[in-house]
Structure 1
Amino acid sequence: MPIAFWCVLAAGLLPVLTVAIAKAGSRAGFDNHDPRGWLEKQSGRARRADLAHRNHFEAFPFFAAAVLTASHLAAPQARIDELAIVFLVARLLYTACYLTDRPTLRTLCWTIGYLTVIGIFLLPVFVH
């Protein structure tokens, strides 16, 4: 299986990882009947982890679609793999920046990830 497909799997797991971090701290008042309501009331690192969790869900479809599209259109697999790795690293750094409250660096990581996905989509157009 191509590396890029493994990156899709990893990117799909990032939301679970970050929500686990959000829920790992104080569980005081946690209500499994309304976990999102409980998460809305969190602050600090737990709140930032929840926000990263949400953003991972937002970024995932665009990334997965890009990898599948580029693969389907026979873009060079090595380039798809390289850009998928860049995306995944950018998202991991994005998460670290979110958790450590570094908003400017977080935005830079988000931008790199977003531009990487656009690059994956455009690979079949420019590289053949």
Structure 2
Amino acid sequence: MTGDLWALLAALLLASIQLTIASVLTLRQLGGSWVAGPHDEPREVTGISGRFVRAHRNLLEIFPQFVAALFLVHAAHASGSLSVVGAWLFVIARLVYVPAYAFARPGVRTICWIAAWFGIVLIVADVFV
């Protein structure tokens, strides 16, 4: 398996861990009856718990582009060093994004998001090199 696909596996693990954390925090804040119910009454998790939930949602928004970029380079048989570096940059930036969103000063999570986005750009760049 190539280095960029190992990064994809790491990203899947990160997404699963974030989902678990977001689910547990939502359950603790909103209660089991609401979580297991039909959600007729919309409610949002707040505070630090809400930040972890929103960090997970943000990952879900950018994750399809990450997967599509990896698919593109592998379908074009262009996977190389740029895609490996880009994929790991994405994973590391998204890993740092979680505590940055929850605890860091404003602007830090933006830097992490931009770094992850740049990782996707590097992956796609392998097609053109």
Normalised to the residue count of structure 1, the TM-score between the two structures is 0.82
Q: Please report how far the alpha carbon of residue 34 of structure 1 lies from its aligned counterpart in structure 2 after TM superposition.
A: 4.4
Pick from 91, 96, 109: which aligns with 1:93?
96
Cα offsets for 1:72-101 (capped at 9, x unmatched)? 223242321111111100110111201214
Q: Which residue of 2 aligns with 1:72?
A: 75
Query: Which residue among 31, 36, 39 is the counterpart of 1:32?
Result: 36
2:73·2:123 contact (CA, 8 Å) conserved in 1? yes
- Aligned partner of 1:84 in structure 2 is 87
Aligned residues: 124
Contact preservation (8 Å) 2:83, 2:125: no
Take 2:47 and 2:120, find their aligned partners in 1: how far apart are those partners?
Answer: 30
Give the aligned partner of residue 19 of structure 1. Answer: 19
Please give the alpha-carbon distance, in whole angstroms, between the structure 2 residues aligned to 1:83 and 1:44. 32
Match of 2:56 among 46, 53, 57: 53
**Contact 1:12 1:60 (8 Å CA) reproduced:** no
Q: TM-score, normalised by structure 2?
A: 0.81
Are 2:10 and 1:6 equivalent residues in the alignment?
no
Q: 1:62-121: CA deviations, max 9, x gaps?
A: 001111211222324232111111110011011120121433100011011112202211
- What CA RMSD, in Å, does the superposition of the two structures yield over aligned residues? 2.2
- Aligned partner letter, 2:48: R
- Structure 1 ranges of 4+ moved more than 6 A: none
CA distance in 1 between partners of 2:14 and 2:36 (Å): 21
